[in-house]
Structure 1
Amino acid sequence: MPTLPILGAALNVNSLETHRKLMLDKPRDLELQDFWPGEVLNGDWMPLVERARALLDGHEGRLGIHGPFWGFTIDAVDVDVREVVRKRLLQGLEVCEALGATHMVVHSPYSTWDHNNLDNYENGRERKIELCHLTMGAAVKRAEDIGCELVIENIEDKDPHLRKILADSFGSPMVKVSIDTGHAHYAHGSTGAPPVDYYVKAAGNDLRHVHLQDADGYADRHWALGEGTINWHAVFAALSKLESDPRLIVEVRDHADVPVSIKNMAALGLAQ
């Protein structure tokens, strides 16, 4: 990574229009977050893609989307639910192809309950991975065909190593690891997980995407960077040792906080 990494942002098309000047002032990576709802994916989303592409004229950073996630997991056990999840993932990748997007965020299947119970069942860990392959296999093949990375984001993950094991199990260059700093900080503060920088170290060069948000270790706050209790010096020190060049995406609840988040990290000498 460069000495002073460039921060990107997670925005919807409306807020991209608002923050377009900021997103074009440097090669900032962008993640569009309009395309995860089933209602959008089942409808005519092409006008939204066309509007985004027009706004992105001159954009030099990498582009991706947050994939569908609400209401399901990628380790679906029920065969009918599994078919719905397969459909949603493929719909998300269809959007990626239309946009020219090269990453799609997928949510981790590992829960706090899993941490205490996977070893309570014979082959529990292996079965978890098998279910993910049954659910994601077609999406992984499609991602390979269009050159779009599926990045698996921690949600409740208490063990930061499990997503790397899962990603590696596909044997595909298009399945990698994502970290959400606020989710990791929640797990650290509320479930006894390691601190955020340990998540970075555990992912190593499989880390290709980071959601940057601040929090208090109790809930999924998505506060502006610098407004919570995450040790950003430790996080960026860990990131600086990587060669995988992960996309560093500011993902805050109020998109008006994107500029101040970047400003706060710049003031600390950590990013631009």
Structure 2
Amino acid sequence: MEQVQKDIPVLGAALTLRTASHLKEWLFESDRDLEIQDFVLPQLLNGNWQAIAGEYKKLLDGYRGRVGIHGPFYGFDIASNDPEIQAIIEKRLLQGLSVCEALGATHMVVHSPFTLWQHNNFGDDPGSRERLIGHCHVTMKEAVRRAESIGCVLVIENVEDVDPRERGLLADSFDSEAVQISLDTGHAHSTGGAPPVDYFVEAAGHRLAHVHIQDTDAYADRHWLPGDGTISWRAFFDALRVHADNPRLIIEVGSALQERIPACVRRLESEGLAR
């Protein structure tokens, strides 16, 4: 059992300042990956975000785990074709990267632009996939340059993606190590027509840099603890061992459930899946 536990992946968590403070000992004990989620709000990015960043720097003094943030996403689509909206998106992404630089954070989550409607209509509109990717380059060009310069990776997270290969095409189109793939297990499981979660892992392969681990009933975006929904976690972790290369494994659940994350991880460890 000892050897098995050494070989299974270490899980981290997506937290806000309050819950990160409560779970500090758990985070530090194994240098677990941390994703900071305070900075998704435009009100904070336009305000005194430096004060919150300063609180995190004090909290994480001596911490040796990998740190990232969830980037801004409210109210926009990175594939917008409206020049004025594109300028706002660029501003928000650069604001998020300023936070990353201040914190020494090395990943920022960006939401995928792919939807079921697009999936069903790419074949009916020749060149539409290429145009969508081109719009993403307009909105993300400066953010990719900034990420490269500060040693941060933009990870593109599936939201309504049906085909797990689409984000790979988008990430590859930037030809940059600063753009990689994220997987949200609950999003994948609750998107109608999408394959099982382990298929998403296989499709991403070594480009999978980040995972949001959450469970759901395959109907809504529940953000439940793993094991509380209907995802096959053994298939997911088996796929990680075969196809992925040390992605950040971040439990992302609702705020009311975050205090229960350590107990959930202990259960997964007892099952030989993760620790």
What TM-score, normalized to structure 1?
0.97
Could you say what the CA RMSD is over the residues aligned between the two structures, in angstroms?
0.9
Unaligned runs of 5+ in 1: none
Alignment gaps of 5+ in structure 2 = 1-5
> Partner of 2:170 in structure 1?
166
User: Conserved in 2, the CA contact under 8 Å of 1:36 and 1:69?
Assistant: yes
**1:109 has 2:113 as partner:** yes
- 8 Å CA contact 2:208–2:244 kept in 1: the answer is no
Give the drift of 1:257: 2.6
Contact kept in structure 2, 1:3 and 1:240, CA below 8 Å: no
**After superposition, where does 1:55-134 map in structure 2 within 5 Å?**
55-134=59-138
After TM superposition, list the pairs within 5 Å mapping 1:116-195 onto structure 2: 116-187=120-191, 191-195=192-196
Q: 1:243 to 1:220 in 2, by over 3 A?
A: closer
Q: Percent identity?
A: 53
The one-letter code of the counterpart of 2:211 is: V
1:249 is aligned to 250
Instruction: Please say which of residues 239-248 and 32-41 is displaced more in the overlay.
Output: 239-248
What is the DSSP-based 3-state SS (H/G/I as helix, E as strand, rest coil) of the residue aligned with 1:240? helix
* Alpha-carbon contact 2:116-2:160 (below 8 Å) kept: yes
Partners of 1:264 and 1:88 lie apart in 2 by: 38
Question: In 2, are the aligned partners of 1:225 and 1:264 still within 8 Å (CA)?
Answer: no
CA deviations on 1:198-230 (whole Å, 9 max, x unpaired) are 000000000000000011111100001111111
| Count of matched residue positions in the alignment of Structure 1 and Structure 2 | 268
Tell me by how many angstroms 1:243 deviates: 4.9
CA distance in 2, matches of 1:192, 1:134: 30
Q: Cα deviation per residue 1:224-245 (whole Å; 9 max; x = unaligned)?
A: 1111111000000000123521
Cα distance in 2 for partners of 1:212, 1:267 equals: 18
- Over residues 167-200 of structure 1, what are the superposed CA-to-partner deviations in whole Å (9 max), with x where a residue is unaligned? 000000000000000000001xxx1210000000
The residue identity in structure 2 corresponding to 1:229 is T
| Contact kept in structure 2, 1:140 and 1:174, CA below 8 Å | yes
1:59-93 CA distances to partner (integer Å, 9 max, x unpaired)? 22100000000110110111101100000000000
TM-score by length of 2: 0.96
Separation in 2, partners of 1:243, 1:266: 20
| Cα distance, 1:122 vs structure 2 | 2.0
Distance 1:257 1:153 in 2: 24
Match of 1:210 in 2: 211
Superposed displacement of residue 154, structure 1: 0.2
Moved over 2 A (4+): none
